[in-house]
């Protein structure tokens, strides 16, 4: 414990590894961004947009519920075990999509993907915050968001390109098998537990802060309803993710209806998360640009 030190420079190799690892987490989502709606319409014969976008609901509900408990579980079990479990959930996802005989297999794949994102993405965030301490939390979050969403964009384009030159499946999803295996291997072999860093920071903060640990119910109430600022942030996040979910499910179908090829759809789909990645990494620049246009 005495040899540990909080800070970005002091923990740069492990911090950089976690940034790269979160790009793999984002890549698992990018795997689906261009192709799943097209698969639902062209290979499974789904005509209902509600049925096609059901995979987004299964993903979102699972991710929301597990997000709620992942951090608390990591306090009890450790960050690394939750991260590894998250990657274990990712392993079946590409296989389920490749071999799916019915659409409910895709919905099941997205339940597992939602669990992967809730655990693996959340743990990469928490572990970076553990390492850098209170002074560099904002930077840690910005780098995490940039790596994740940039990878979403890159893989959205790559899978569209692969599909344009082969088929909607299975070839594009072979990439997902590689990503899941590498993500799991890196998590098991190279990622170190960071919970002791949180204890180190907490020990230093006990002199000025209460040691009473709030219950999960109290945290949920304060975050969702009790604090006006946090309520506004949650509401904005809900709307933001709703927009993202609709773009995930409907834009490929919209573009395809106007004759756009899958490679071009993948390119268009890549732009949005990449712009989001840069805005998450430099929110001050995005606000300045928006104010200038207005």
Domain boundaries, the chain: 12-200+214-289
User: Under a CB-based contact definition with an 8 Å cutoff, are residues 88 and 37 in contact?
Assistant: no
DSSP 8-state assignment for residue 207: T
Residues contacting residue 33 through CB under 8 Å, at least 6 positions apart: 152, 155, 156, 159, 248, 269, 273
Q: What is the chain's pLDDT, residue by residue, as a tens digit (294 residues)?
A: 447 888 888 999 999 999 999 999 999 999 999 999 999 999 999 888 777 888 888 898 899 889 888 988 998 999 999 999 999 999 999 999 999 999 999 999 999 999 999 999 999 999 999 999 888 888 888 899 999 999 999 999 999 999 999 999 999 999 999 999 999 999 999 999 999 998 888 776 665 545 567 777 887 888 888 888 888 888 887 787 777 777 788 889 889 999 999 999 999 989 888 887 888 776 666 655 444 444
Q: Is 247 exposed, middle or buried (0-12, 13-18, 19+ CB in 10 A)?
A: middle
For tokens 């540990």, the residue is 4
12-200+214-289: CATH homologous superfamily?
MFS general substrate transporter like domains (1.20.1250.20)
CA 80-137-182 angle, 5° bins: 35
> For residue 35, which of 163, 175, 178, 154 has the smallest C-alpha distance?
163
Q: Which residues of 181-215 are buried (b: 16+ CB within 10 A; e: fewer)?
A: eebbebbeeebeebbebbebbeeeeeeeeeeeeee
User: Under a CB-based contact definition with an 8 Å cutoff, are residues 42 and 168 in contact?
Assistant: yes
């Amino acid at each position: 414990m005495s040899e540990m030190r909080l800070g970005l420079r002091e923990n740069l190799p492990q911090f950089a590894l976690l940034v790269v690892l979160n790009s793999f987490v984002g890549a698992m989502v990018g795997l689906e961004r261009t192709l799943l709606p097209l698969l639902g319409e062209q290979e499974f014969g789904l005509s209902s947009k509600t049925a096609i976008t059901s995979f987004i609901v299964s993903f979102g509900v699972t991710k929301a519920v597990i997000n709620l408990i992942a951090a608390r579980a990591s306090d009890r079990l450790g960050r690394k075990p939750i991260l590894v479990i998250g990657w274990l959930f990712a392993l079946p996802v590409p296989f389920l999509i490749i071999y799916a005989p019915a659409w409910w297999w895709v919905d099941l794949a997205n339940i597992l993907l939602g669990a992967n994102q809730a655990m693996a993405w959340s743990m990469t965030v928490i572990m970076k915050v553990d390492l850098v301490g209170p002074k560099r939390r904002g930077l840690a979050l910005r780098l995490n968001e940039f790596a994740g969403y940039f990878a979403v964009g890159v893989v959205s384009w790559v899978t569209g390109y692969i599909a344009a030159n082969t088929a909607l499946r299975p070839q594009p999803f072979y990439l997902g098998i590689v990503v899941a295996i590498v993500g799991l291997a890196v998590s098991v072999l190279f990622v170190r537990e960071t919970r002791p860093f949180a204890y180190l920071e907490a020990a230093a903060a006990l002199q000025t802060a209460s040691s009473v640990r709030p219950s999960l119910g109290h945290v949920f109430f304060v975050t969702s309803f009790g604090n006006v600022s946090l309520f506004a942030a949650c509401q904005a996040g809900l709307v933001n993710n709703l927009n993202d979910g609709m773009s995930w499910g409907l834009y490929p179908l919209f573009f395809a209806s106007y004759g756009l090829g899958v490679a071009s759809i993948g390119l268009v789909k890549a732009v949005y998360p990449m712009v989001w990645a840069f805005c998450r990494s430099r929110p001050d620049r995005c606000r300045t640009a928006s104010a200038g246009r207005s």
